[in-house]
Amino acid sequence: MADTHLDRDVLSALQEVMEDEYPTLLDTFIADSEERLRVLRQAEDAAQLMNAAHSFKGSSSNMGAIRLAELCNELEQRARQKSLAGIEQLVGEIDGEFAIVRPLYEAERQRSLADNATVRRF
């Protein structure tokens, strides 16, 4: 299941670069994603939708959230064209995808913390 939602190679590369700060990066992504979802749900016009979707797409892509980035890209493109019919359904899909990846990131954070604790013991 995780393969269609998360790119594990991206996560491995991020962990290698971030080292001990990797769990903090995961926490930040989760918190930022929640805020971006709130903005998407409350957007009042196409420009707000487009900007929020663009930002969410970038962070999702950087964090290896493949499907989430694809959905945000679709929303960004539709908002850019001001094609807002059925947009609530797409925002709902984004919300649903985040509901799938959030526990995957939380599990990744726990795994990383456990790995760090094991390494420090030896």
How many angstroms from the chain centroid is the CA of residue 24? 14
Query: Strand pairing partners for 42?
Result: none
**Average pLDDT rounded to a whole number, residues 8-36:** 96
> CA-CA distance, 52 to 47, in Å (whole number)?
9
> CA-CA distance, 88 to 64, in Å (whole number)?
24
Record the pTM.
Answer: 0.91
Which region holds residue 86: left if phi is over 0, alpha if psi is between -120 and 50, else beta? left
- Render pLDDT for 33-57 as a digit per residue (tens, 0 to 9): 999 999 999 998 999 999 999 999 9
Cβ-count burial of 97 within 10 angstroms (0-12 exposed, 13-18 middle, 19+ buried)?
Answer: buried
pLDDT of amino acid 122:
46
pLDDT of amino acid 60:
98
pLDDT of amino acid 119:
58
Query: Strand pairing partners for 65?
Result: 6
